[in-house]
Amino acid sequence: MSVRQTWIEPAPAGQSSAPSLSRQCELAGVTRSGVYRCWKGDTPVSELDLKLLRLIDAEYTRRPFYGSRRMVLSLRDAGYQVNRKRVQRLMKVLGLAGMLPGPHTSKPHPTHKIYPYLLRGVAITRPDQVWSADITYIRLAHGFAYLVAIMDWYSRRVLAWRLSNTLDSGFCIDCLEEALCTYGAPEIFNTDQGAQFTSTAFTKVLTDAKIAISMDGRGRALDNIFVERLWRSVKYEDIYLKGYEFFAELYRGLRAYFTYYNDERPHQALGYLTPTSVYRAGTGGGAEIKDHFNTDSSGTISAPLRSTEMVPERGTGAALLRCE
Question: What is residue 94's predicted lDDT score, i.e. its pLDDT?
Answer: 72
Q: What is the pLDDT of residues 180-235, one digit of tens each?
A: 999 999 999 999 888 889 999 999 999 999 999 999 865 455 567 888 889 999 99
Work out the pLDDT band at 256, boundaries 50, 70, 90.
Answer: very high
Structure confidence at residue 100 (pLDDT): 43
Long-range contacts of 46-51, Cβ-Cβ distance < 8 Å, separation of 24 or more: 48/80, 49/90, 50/139, 51/80
pLDDT digits (tens, 9 = 90+) for 69-94: 889 999 999 999 999 999 988 887 77
Domain parsing of the chain, residue ranges: 3-40, 47-94, 123-281
User: Mean pLDDT across the chain, nearest whole number?
Assistant: 78
The pLDDT of residue 111: 64
| pLDDT value at residue 99 | 46
Residue 278 in 3-state DSSP? helix
| pLDDT band at residue 248 under the 50/70/90 scheme | very high
pLDDT at 321 over 60: no
CB 115, CB 213: distance < 8 Å: yes
Domain covering 123-281 in this structure, CATH number: 3.30.420.10
Which of the four pLDDT bands, split at 50, 70 and 90, describes residue 3? low
Identify the pLDDT of residue 300.
39
Whether the pLDDT of residue 297 is over 90: the answer is no
- Tens-digit pLDDT profile for residues 109-138: 566 788 998 988 889 999 999 999 999 888
pLDDT band at 161 (very low <50, low <70, confident <90, very high): very high
Q: Under 8 Å CB-to-CB from 317, ≥6 apart: which residues?
A: 269, 270, 271, 272, 273, 278, 284, 285
Handedness of CA 46, 47, 49, 50 (dihedral sign): positive
Rounded to two decimals, what is the model's pTM?
0.63
Residue 30 pLDDT level (bands cut at 50, 70, 90): low
Q: CB of 140 within 8 A of CB of 57?
A: no
